[in-house]
Amino acid sequence: MSDKRKLKFSFGQGKQHSRNNRNNRSLFYLISTCLALSVASLALFISLSGFAVSQLFLESFITSYSTIVFSIFFSLLAFFYILYKTNSIEFAVKNLGLNREMITPKNILIGLSLFVIMLIVEFGISAFSQVTHIALPTNVQQVLSGLPIYFFVFTFLIAPINEEIFFRGFLVNRIGIIPSALLFALLHFGYASISEFVAALIFGLVAGYVFKKTGSLYTTIIAHILLNMLTIVALFLI
């Protein structure tokens, strides 16, 4: 290759690298802005609730608003951190298990299998409660009743993706399966339901293991979406 062609090739690479850096910086600034808005929303939410935790589940607006803000906040935080450390969109997507190569028939089947496993777990918890006469009440219906339709759409389609990005894609590789599962379960303890806590803990453990083995976040996203969909359908049918 002549010096002229080498110089042209090097210049082209430099332009591409510069363009990628600009795109990464733009995304970084966008995520930073969204994260700042989420923090501001959280501050507003806390002030509206009067710092009284017991009110969070009594007012439908506060419940739906806080859930949506927290969900968005977690996923943005994961992207913000990785993008800040690496300045690479491609690495962030791959590190979180969201690259296209991870969408395979095998991983889709694994996601469906995880959904079936969690159905068995739910039935197992219910059977255990009946056999042992140990009350494991669930307050999901009471907490979610009266909430606006947009909240259920968000819970079905968006929240599972956000939660999987943070708890599996981000936390599992950094703090491990068990700690991330415990944090995930504690988040769901907001329903004031032991059965929801246990189910969320088991899902966190199994989903963390599946993500670790497959490297695909789509497996756990599929299962999570189906579980939330089933909960919402059951809520409206009961």
pLDDT tens digits along 68-109: 777 888 888 888 888 888 877 888 888 889 888 999 999 999
pLDDT band per the 50, 70, 90 thresholds, residue 213: very high
Rounding to the nearest 10 degrees, give the CA dihedral for residues 94, 160, 74, 27.
50
pLDDT at residue 203 is higher than 70? yes
pLDDT band per the 50, 70, 90 thresholds, residue 113: very high
How buried is residue 170: exposed, middle or buried, by Cβ count under 10 Å (0-12/13-18/19+)?
A: buried
Q: What is the mean pLDDT of residues 29-52?
A: 52
In the chain, the amino acid numbered 234 is A
Work out the number of other CB atoms within 10 angstroms of the CB of residue 222: 22
pLDDT band per the 50, 70, 90 thresholds, residue 27: low
Helical packing angle, 218-237 and 105-132, nearest 10°: 50
- To which H or E segment does residue 219 belong? helix 218-237
Lowest pLDDT segment from 64-68, 78-82, 203-207: 64-68
For residue 164 the two structure tokens come to 């999987």
% residues pLDDT > 70 (the chain): 64
Chain segment 158-193, per-residue pLDDT in tens: 889 999 999 999 999 989 999 999 989 888 776 666
Lowest pLDDT segment from 20-34, 38-52, 104-118, 158-172: 38-52
**Predicted pLDDT of residue 177:** 94
Residue among 5, 28, 9 at smallest CA distance from 17: 9
Q: Can you give the residue ranges of every domain in the chain?
A: 1-95, 100-238
**Predicted pLDDT of residue 207:** 96
pTM of the model: 0.74
**Predicted pLDDT of residue 7:** 45
% residues pLDDT > 90 (the chain): 27
- Tally of residues, the chain: 238
In the chain, the amino acid numbered 190 is G
Q: What is the mean pLDDT of residues 47-68?
A: 53
Residue 99's SS3 state is coil
Which residue carries 């009743």 as its tokens? 145
Which positions ≥6 away from 208 have C-beta within 8 Å? 167, 168, 172, 177, 178, 180, 181
**Predicted pLDDT of residue 26:** 55
